[in-house]
A = this chain, B = another copy of it.
Amino acid sequence: MLVKRVCLKDIAEEVNVSQTAVSKVLNGLPIRIGQEKREKIIETAQRLGYSPNMIARGLRNQKTKSIGIVIPDMSTLFYPELLRSLEIKLSSYGYQTLICNSEDDPVNEREHIETLLSRSVDGLVVAPAAGRDNIDYFKEIQESRKTFVLIDRYFAGEGLNFIVTDNKQGAGAGVGILADQGVARIIYLGNRVRNQPIDDRLTGVREEAARRSIGFTTEQIFLTETDRESAGATCRRILGGNLKDTGIFLESNRLLMGLLDAAREKGLQIPDDFHVIGFDPFIAEMAYPADYASLRVIRQPFSLIRQDIAGMVQAVGEYLVSSLNKQSNRLLQRMLPAEIIPGNYGQDA
């Protein structure tokens, strides 16, 4: 049989007190009641296995103790990692996580947010999908005083809350590493589909290159689809040219395998034939023979620029808690510094 969950009324009848009394005692609210009755209520609740119906409570309180999270992608380790930390954090504050996957499509994204809103989530954390389609929609939500924050990706100058990596700074630091390796010329490999954070990376490279008088012109920027095939094709063009004192800047770790595939074809190695730096540790899924072969191109590990996921999650957690409790609704726009993970040039790998 479908067992009915016990509710306040059941306890009230059992103990012979009002439902109000039960509610107040169980929630630790002030109420004058005999010690004996109080204990009886608590004992009975325990015995019957009472646990409050959060749906009813949510309807009554207009608060559900839940947070909606929308991310564009679960196929790298980046968002799952972010999700995991966020879930642990929120759950420690008693919040339930509702996740949605937009698959980087603004239409999906919007539908998912509508659903989350119809489920009365108390707050929304969104790593927005590609494009600017939903900016006005986000503004509406934020202006409705719903707790709202963008994570990882943002939009500049739109007055939306965000917590992201300082991509410009990180990219600049990466150029510094290349310069230390004697690079005199940078080739930038980026995604064709643009968004603010990766534009910031490009800006960071351009500005730091200028500051250090490293050659960097428009012809040195290559944009590509991120699938391995396309990235590989683009890289074959890059690697076909002159590579003397060249550092290749990878806008994201998704582009690496394509680069390695192309290098392998041409018999080139890192760092012997060119230098590399890029954003975020990449993961290799060692399922296919070709992967091993391509990884061999890396004769010595290069440095990486890593986003501070833990820091972002920490910041989001703090923001949610403060925003959810108080009515404070001030603008929050934070950029967290990226970190350099050094390779080991000069040592034996």
List residues of chain A with CB under 8 Å of any chain B CB: 1-3, 5, 51-56, 58-59, 64, 66, 74-75, 77, 79-81, 83-84, 87-88, 91, 96-101, 103, 112, 114-120, 144-146, 281-289, 291-293, 295-296, 298, 300-301, 304, 306, 341, 343-344, 347, 349
| Cβ–Cβ contact B281 & A52, under 8 A | no
From B55, B117, B145, A2 is in contact (CB under 8 Å) with B145
Which B residues lie within 8 Å of A344 (CB)?
289
| Cβ–Cβ contact A284 & B284, under 8 A | yes
| Cβ–Cβ contact A59 & B51, under 8 A | no
A119→B57 CA distance, assembly (Å): 10
* Nearest-CB residue, chain B, relative to A295: B295
| Cβ–Cβ contact B281 & A287, under 8 A | yes
From B101, B145, B289, A1 is in contact (CB under 8 Å) with B145
| Cβ–Cβ contact A119 & B283, under 8 A | no
| Cβ–Cβ contact A88 & B101, under 8 A | yes
A13→B52 CA distance, assembly (Å): 34
A234→B289 CA distance, assembly (Å): 27
| Cβ–Cβ contact A144 & B112, under 8 A | no
| Cβ–Cβ contact A283 & B120, under 8 A | no
Q: Check A282/B286 contact, CB under 8 A, given A59-B55, A117-B51, A118-B52.
A: yes
| Cβ–Cβ contact B281 & A283, under 8 A | no
